[in-house]
Structure 1
Amino acid sequence: RCVAESHQTKRDESVLGFVKEQRMMHPRIGTRKIKHLLAQNEIKIGRDRLFSLLKVNRLLVQNRRAYHRTTNSNHRFYCHPNRVKEGLIPERPEQLWVADITYLATRCGCTYLSLVTDAYSRKIVGYHISDDMKASTVKQAFLNALKERKNTDELVHHSDRGIQYC
């Protein structure tokens, strides 16, 4: 039994040395890629054993959460009453449109997608893509939605009350 434990400890030390060496060159290299590199170097270790070994030694790479703030609700501009919070539930298409901006990661960097969605059908009725989050971007998405509008009944346009919408 001691021989097996000694062999296990030596293998763990060689794996940890290899991982530290790889992390010096590639600080964010993941465990799956490390497992692949270990196999190429004829160091055999199971996936679960590798994960638990790295976890015990605090060598797992934490995931980065991609987060880009797109809403600034603390501004001095007037906001209309929130009809959705007051209980407005759409009963037909083109009664309530909701608008939002989302961040898209591209090769060129930051890109923002402004969307106008029909709350009843959940269909995207207007959109606009831009490199900034200016009011002109959300206005263009809204105008694109209006061009496709079918009826002239009352319509409520709702947004997250960000500065671009005020």
Structure 2
Amino acid sequence: MCKLMKVSRSGYYEWLNNSGCNRDREDHELTNKIEIIFKEGRSKYGTRSIKKELSRQSIIVSRRRIAKLMKKASLICKTKRKFKATTDAHHNKQIAPSLLERNFTVPEANCYWVGDITYIPTSEGWLYLATVIDLFSRKIIGWSMSNNMKADLVNNALLMAIWQRKPAKGLICHTDRGSQYCSDSHLKI
């Protein structure tokens, strides 16, 4: 009996000569199939697509196992970033001049605010987030979220910022030239 490993000498040599357990052989064969599917998919297939293709070949395997084998084989799929346009600058509304002139360093709070819209993909669809940021502190002082990009989205964010900060006259609010920011309801705030 080998004292360090606490296994018999014959058991150790049997293990050494064994070509691997059934699961190791299955993983090796499955990894080869996954690599073929992955290459045929031009490195764009993830676990879902590979699982579908394996199902077509009557091979049932979980996505978790596929992911584990892909990681072990260093197969990383190329993902295309989803893009959603949030600015519609092609409108017939009046556009205000840029008073900020790319000077993003400001002397005190509530002098310059900036606003923008971003999007967040969720399992139930796109959500849009409008924010108002005080350039002095770089803090979000107003925000609004909705499943559409109507003028109410940016109006609610600006109203929240005004309600929280109660700025004096002379505040400059800088945004992009999107139709929401040029809407009549937004210009009246």
TM, length-normalised to structure 1: 0.68
Matched residue SS, 1:132: coil
Q: 1:92 to 1:153 in 2, by over 3 A?
A: farther
Matches within 5 A, 1:29-68: 29=47, 34=66, 36-37=68-69, 47=72, 50-51=73-74, 61-68=77-84
Q: 1:122 to 1:35 in 2, by over 3 A?
A: closer
Distance 2:144 2:160 in 1: 8
Q: Check if 1:142 corresponds to 2:141.
A: no
Matches within 5 A, 1:4-83: 15-20=31-36, 27-29=45-47, 34=66, 36-37=68-69, 47=72, 50-51=73-74, 61-83=77-99
Cα offset for 1:89? Answer: 4.1
Describe the superposition over 1:3-45 as per-residue Cα deviations: whole angstroms up to 9, x where unpaired. Answer: xxxxxxxxx9974334336899xx422999646247xxxxxxx
Greater displacement, 112-121 / 63-72: 63-72
Cα offset for 1:124? Answer: 0.7
Q: What is the count of residue pairs matched by the alignment?
A: 138
TM, length-normalised to structure 2: 0.60
Highest Rg: 1 or 2?
2
Q: One-letter code of the match for 1:68?
A: K
Distance 1:67 1:74 in 2: 18
Q: 1:79 to 1:164 in 2, by over 3 A?
A: same
Matches within 5 A, 1:57-136: 61-85=77-101, 87=103, 89-136=105-152
Tell me, yes or no, if the aligned pair for 2:144 and 2:157 is still in contact at 8 Å. Answer: yes
Q: One-letter code of the match for 2:116?
A: D
For structure 2, the 5+ residue unaligned runs are 1-27, 51-63, 183-189
Cα offset for 1:163? Answer: 0.9
Tell me, yes or no, if the aligned pair for 2:31 and 2:69 is still in contact at 8 Å. Answer: no
Identity of aligned residues (%): 33
For structure 1, the 5+ residue unaligned runs are 1-11, 39-45, 55-59
